[in-house]
């Protein structure tokens, strides 16, 4: 709430850092080895982003003293782009989302990665002055992320990892909109409306898919529960793919309207929208195939997660239409000339998925998973470990002095941290359900006080 309400650089940085550090707890929640690795990578990325964002905002404030504003714009693009999953700064995202529990993944992908986008909208010179070179860079990186995210996501097996790469792809399109705004300040009022509608649409649809992936992971009984699972996974997937009559179709029509006729760069982004719809549809078809729930050993079903998941899936379908601009785009996207363009990417993805399933059953093998989650980070990590291992084996004896046995740290962990953690866990008798409800009640009371004070 603090991050979204403030428009001043200093409070924004404070809330940005607090939100980034609190997200570390969501990623580390399960305490498994993959969660610890993902948490460490995320923590390094988010702190680096905070430092660069601080540097960019400080340079922008003191630009009149001789610090070039180009450095401010570049530092903001990179620092906030780390949070937004901008390629090639996206490497933490496919590690963090699968490691976190499904509700945490829904929050991370649906809301928290938008913090970088919010910082761009607040502090870049959008609508004020043209920055064509930086805009070109953002459009190029955004389009690269839109298609590379989909391509690498197709090579994944874990449903939540596939959704993480889908988030990278969708954030790429949003970054491209910001880049177009940097190149064409006069078009920013309409572009900003499209961007905000895109944020709402993606937040609801992707949140529903992450909650659904968690809800069906342990199997779904036959009958009505299985039908509800089809609805809860299918509706947000259709919305993200831009099917006619969905919020995704309205947003993409608004993207086309806002970006047409500006310059060749924005024209290229608009021209690539149909190819992007095909890539998104293929990726979501891959997700649906990998996440389709098996039959459980015992037909039991927890109602709690399902209620919120299905509600979010239904809200995400018409919610972006409740706002006047997107209501207009929605009517336009339902025009007869727009129905077929919105359907053929989905039909093409369905045909390609059926062909892939048929080939795998004929013995040709499934779609390969040769790209590890984290792609460029995983490759760099593997290369660094190989180099260090070779260096330690073949180098002089002094190179092994950099990792001595840390007996003091082990003593502190064993004598102080473990007993303290045990006492805290035992003392917390409320558990997450009660304490979470109390926290939401406190937020509601504070919000009511804020309204009364106004």
Among 55-64, 199-208, 440-449, the minimum mean pLDDT is found in 55-64
List, as own/partner pairs, every contact residues 321-328 make where C-beta atoms lie below 8 angstroms and the sequence separation is at least 24, other chains included: 321/247, 321/250, 323/197, 323/200, 325/193, 325/197, 325/254, 326/197, 326/247, 326/250, 326/251, 326/254
Among 4-13, 318-327, 436-445, the minimum mean pLDDT is found in 318-327
For residue range 360-372, what is the model confidence (pLDDT) as tens digits? 666 555 555 667 8
Q: What angle do CA 288, 143, 40 make, to 5 degrees?
A: 70
Contact 290, 233 (CB under 8 A): no
Nearest-angstrom CA–CA distance, 385 and 396? 18
Among 123-132, 247-256, 257-266, 382-391, the minimum mean pLDDT is found in 382-391
Look over the chain and give the mean of its residue pLDDT values, rounded to a whole number. 80
pLDDT of 297 > 60? The answer is no
Q: Average pLDDT, stretch 27-31?
A: 83
User: What is the pLDDT at residue 386?
Assistant: 77
User: What is the pLDDT at residue 406?
Assistant: 52
User: What is the pLDDT at residue 145?
Assistant: 93
Q: Average pLDDT, stretch 54-65?
A: 69
User: What is the pLDDT at residue 64?
Assistant: 45
Q: Which residue has the higher pLDDT, 310 or 205?
A: 205
pLDDT band at 403 (very low <50, low <70, confident <90, very high): very low
Q: Give the number of other CB atoms < 10 A from CB of residue 143.
A: 22
Nearest-angstrom CA–CA distance, 155 and 369? 5
For residue range 140-188, what is the model confidence (pLDDT) as tens digits? 999 999 999 999 988 888 889 999 999 999 999 999 999 999 999 999 9
Q: Which of 285, 390, 382 is nearest to 91 (CA)?
A: 382
pLDDT band at 62 (very low <50, low <70, confident <90, very high): low
User: What is the pLDDT at residue 260?
Assistant: 86
pLDDT of 102 > 90? The answer is no
Q: Average pLDDT, stretch 46-59?
A: 88
Nearest-angstrom CA–CA distance, 63 and 273? 37
User: What is the pLDDT at residue 81?
Assistant: 92
pLDDT band at 397 (very low <50, low <70, confident <90, very high): low
13-28: buried (b, 16+ CB within 10 Å) or exposed (e) per residue? Answer: bebbbebbeebbebbb
List, as own/partner pairs, every contact residues 57-63 make where C-beta atoms lie below 8 angstroms and the sequence separation is at least 24, other chains included: 57/9, 57/12, 57/13, 57/123, 60/9, 60/123, 61/9
For residue range 304-357, what is the model confidence (pLDDT) as tens digits? 667 778 888 887 766 666 667 777 776 666 665 566 666 777 778 778 777 776
Contact 233, 285 (CB under 8 A): no
Q: Which residue has the higher pLDDT, 97 or 295?
A: 97
> Looking at the chain, how many residues does it have?
454
Residues 6+ apart with CB under 8 A from 442: none
Q: Which residue has the higher pLDDT, 133 or 60?
A: 133
Q: Average pLDDT, stretch 286-303?
A: 68
pLDDT band at 411 (very low <50, low <70, confident <90, very high): low
Q: Average pLDDT, stretch 193-202?
A: 90
Residue labelled with tokens 């529903």: 208
pLDDT of 16 > 60? The answer is yes
388-401: buried (b, 16+ CB within 10 Å) or exposed (e) per residue? Answer: eeeeeeeeeeeeee
Nearest-angstrom CA–CA distance, 255 and 405? 57
Q: Which span out of 99-108, 173-182, 215-224, 327-336 was modeled with the highest average pLDDT? A: 173-182
Among 63-67, 235-239, 424-428, the minimum mean pLDDT is found in 63-67
pLDDT of 450 > 60? The answer is yes
User: What is the pLDDT at residue 39?
Assistant: 87
User: What is the pLDDT at residue 103?
Assistant: 84
Q: Average pLDDT, stretch 385-389?
A: 73
Q: Average pLDDT, stretch 258-264?
A: 87
Residue labelled with tokens 């690539």: 272
Q: Give the number of other CB atoms < 10 A from CB of residue 328.
A: 15
Q: Which residue has the higher pLDDT, 49 or 329?
A: 49
User: What is the pLDDT at residue 104?
Assistant: 84
User: What is the pLDDT at residue 101?
Assistant: 84
Chain-centre distance of CA 295, in angstroms? 30
User: What is the pLDDT at residue 138?
Assistant: 93
Q: Average pLDDT, stretch 290-314?
A: 69
User: What is the pLDDT at residue 399?
Assistant: 47
Q: Give the number of other CB atoms < 10 A from CB of residue 435.
A: 12
């Amino acid at each position: 709430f603090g991050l979204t309400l403030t428009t001043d650089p200093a409070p924004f940085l404070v809330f940005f850092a607090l939100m980034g550090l609190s997200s570390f707890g969501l990623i580390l929640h399960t305490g498994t080895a993959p969660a610890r690795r993902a948490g460490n990578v995320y923590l390094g990325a988010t702190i680096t982003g905070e430092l660069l964002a601080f540097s960019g905002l400080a340079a922008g404030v003191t630009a009149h003293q001789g610090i070039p504003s180009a450095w401010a714009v570049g530092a903001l693009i990179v620092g906030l782009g780390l949070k937004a999953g901008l390629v090639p700064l996206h490497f933490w995202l496919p590690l963090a989302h699968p490691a976190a529990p499904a509700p945490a993944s829904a929050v991370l992908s649906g809301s928290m990665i938008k913090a970088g986008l919010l910082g761009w909208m607040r502090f870049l010179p959008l609508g004020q002055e043209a920055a064509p070179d930086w805009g070109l860079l953002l459009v190029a990186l955004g389009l690269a992320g839109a298609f590379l995210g989909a391509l690498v996501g197709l090579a994944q097996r874990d449903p939540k990892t596939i959704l993480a790469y889908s988030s990278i792809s969708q954030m790429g399109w949003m970054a491209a909109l910001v880049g177009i705004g940097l190149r064409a300040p006069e078009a920013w009022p309409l572009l900003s409306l499209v961007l905000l509608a895109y944020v709402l649409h993606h937040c609801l649809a992707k949140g529903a898919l992450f909650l659904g992936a968690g809800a069906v992971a342990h199997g779904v009984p036959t009958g009505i529960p299985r039908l509800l699972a089809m609805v809860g996974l299918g509706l947000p997937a259709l919305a993200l793919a831009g099917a006619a009559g969905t919020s995704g179709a309205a947003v993409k029509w608004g993207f086309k309207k806002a970006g047409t006729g500006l310059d060749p760069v924005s024209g290229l982004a608009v021209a690539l929208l149909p190819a992007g719809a095909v890539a998104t549809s293929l990726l979501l078809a891959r997700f649906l195939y990998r996440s389709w729930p098996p039959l459980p050993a015992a037909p039991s079903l927890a109602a709690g997660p399902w209620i919120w998941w299905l509600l979010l899936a239904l809200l995400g379908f018409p919610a972006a239409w409740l706002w006047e601009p997107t209501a207009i785009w929605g009517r336009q996207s339902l025009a007869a000339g727009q129905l077929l363009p919105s359907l053929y990417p989905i039909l093409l993805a369905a045909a390609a998925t059926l062909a892939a399933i048929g080939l795998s059953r004929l013995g040709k093998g499934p779609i390969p998973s040769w790209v590890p989650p984290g792609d460029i980070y995983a490759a760099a990590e593997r290369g660094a470990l190989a180099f260090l291992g070779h260096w330690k084996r073949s180098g002089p004896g002094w190179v092994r002095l950099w990792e001595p046995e840390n007996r003091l740290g082990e003593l502190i962990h064993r004598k102080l941290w473990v007993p303290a953690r045990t006492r805290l866990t035992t003392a917390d008798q409320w558990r997450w359900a009660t304490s979470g409800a109390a926290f939401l009640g406190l937020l509601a009371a504070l919000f009511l006080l804020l309204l009364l004070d106004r």
